[in-house]
Chains A and B, each alone.
Chain A
């Protein structure tokens, strides 16, 4: 998984049925010190993140299927946790 900051929210009216009722965010991967790195990602939120939050994102084949209990889930990246604090010492 990787650290990211929630930047923007995506609104859409026509979507795949697996996306119905789900919140789609644009997230920017960051380093532990908050500096942005790499390109933005699209991620589905199901833990209750908001814009500006630092979150843990990730995903693998089959994860969304298990989490949402769906047969077909064309979803890759999920917001898995909202970060309160990072304790770290870089090497």
Chain B
């Protein structure tokens, strides 16, 4: 799972039937402080995230293990909207 920020939406009319009615969001990977990293991901929205949301992305075959994405041809899903991250320890 990684942290990401939703930066946009993908409009697509030609897609698998099981993806109909699901939002494809363009996300940019960030670190836990919210600083943007380099990679972009496209993920299916399972929690009604909006543009600018700080979210948690899940990948791979696990991404199909939600009600919304069961048996859909996807490999990335937004599983949570993050309110806050608390760092309690720092290691050397």
Which residue of B7, B64, B75 has the most chain A CB atoms within 10 A of its CB atom?
A: B75
Distance (whole angstroms) from the CB of B69 to the closest CB of chain A: 11
Q: Which residue of A lies closest to B17 (CB)?
A: A47
Q: Which residues of A contact B40 (CB under 8 A)?
A: 2-3, 31-32
Q: Across the interface, do A67 and B73 meet the contact criterion of CB distance under 8 Å?
A: yes
On chain B, the number of residues with a Cβ less than 8 Å from chain A's Cβ atoms is 31
- Distance, CA A91 to CA B8, complexed state (A): 10
How many interface contacts (CB-CB < 8 Å) are there between A and B?
101
Check B10 against A81 for contact (C-beta < 8 Å): yes
Give 1 or 0 for each of A72-90: 1 = CB within 8 Å of chain B CB. 0000001011111111111
Report Cα–Cα, A62/B11, bound state, in Å. Answer: 26
* Stretch of A7-15, A16-24, A52-60 that contacts chain B: A52-60
Q: Indicate with 1 or 0, residue by residue over B2-44, a CB within 8 angstroms of chain A CB atoms.
A: 0001011111111110010000101010000000100011110
- Counting chain A residues whose Cβ lies within 8 A of the other chain, the interface size class is 20 to 34
Q: Which residue of B lies closest to A85 (CB)?
A: B11
- Tell me the smallest distance from the CB of A21 to a CB of chain B, in Å: 17
Which residue of chain A lies nearest to B7 when distances are taken between CB atoms in the complex? A88
CB–CB B8/A87 < 8 A:
yes
CA distance A80 to B71 in the complex (A): 13
Closest 5 A/B residue pairs (Cβ)? A88-B8, A81-B15, A82-B14, A60-B75, A85-B11
